[in-house]
Amino acid sequence: MKKKITLIVFTLLAICTLNVKAQETTSSWTTGVDLYSSYVWRGAKFGSGPAMQPTVKYTNGGFSIGAWGSYCFSTNEATEADLFASYGFSLGENSTLAFAVTDYYFPTAEYFDGDSHYFEPMVTLGLGKLSLAAAYMTNAEDTYVEAGYTAGAVTLFAGAGDGQYTKDASFNLCNVGLKPSKSIKISDSFSIPVSGSVILNPSTEQFHIVVGISL
């Protein structure tokens, strides 16, 4: 299994790149960084203290390829450096479908050690203000599903999973809450997006409040 997960992801990224080059659409590179008061993912908190989360992404039409990371500013540092590829398209008026694959890597282990990677395919369906997502982490055999509903500047969400997501590893609610967002205007041409999350994990009985900005 050594190197297998990483090689699979790089192969998928290469295939997507070849497909992207065949499209007659405008391509672009984007970079950015999010700063959050803490790193909470699918109802679980990682590390302690604030977290910096950089992103580098190449997009062409419905294809995206990129890298995302998270680094906590604390002695109990939670580090993560992921690769991802996705393709999304319209199903009609206000409906979208997207497929993604992510290679989760945690720098506490050597990069080319297959045991340090977690490989996850994911599908997301958008139906107007409603979104549905399902993911399966293959080598960990963990399932996660989530539904979200956006009402104005607030998104309500509820997620359920098994394995690492819950207290006893059985399938249960693990990520319930709301996420408001706003934009702070700095000038006529520059604004800073601000978002917050109020999150409850009913399985582990943990409650989190997170606020962040995007640059």
Q: Residue 63 falls within a domain, yes or no?
A: yes
**Number of structural domains found in the chain:** 1
Q: How do residues 166-210 score in pLDDT, each as one tens digit?
A: 999 999 999 999 999 999 999 988 999 999 999 999 999 999 999
pLDDT exceeds 90 at position 114: no
Q: Residue 187 falls within a domain, yes or no?
A: no
Q: How do residues 30-44 score in pLDDT, each as one tens digit?
A: 999 999 999 999 999
Q: Residue 89 falls within a domain, yes or no?
A: yes
Query: Strands, DSSP E only, in 61-203?
Result: 63-72, 79-92, 95-105, 117-127, 130-137, 142-151, 154-161, 172-187, 190-201
Domain span at 126:
4-151
Give residue 168's pLDDT: 95
**In terms of Cα–Cα distance, which of 41, 32, 38, 45 is closest to 72?**
38
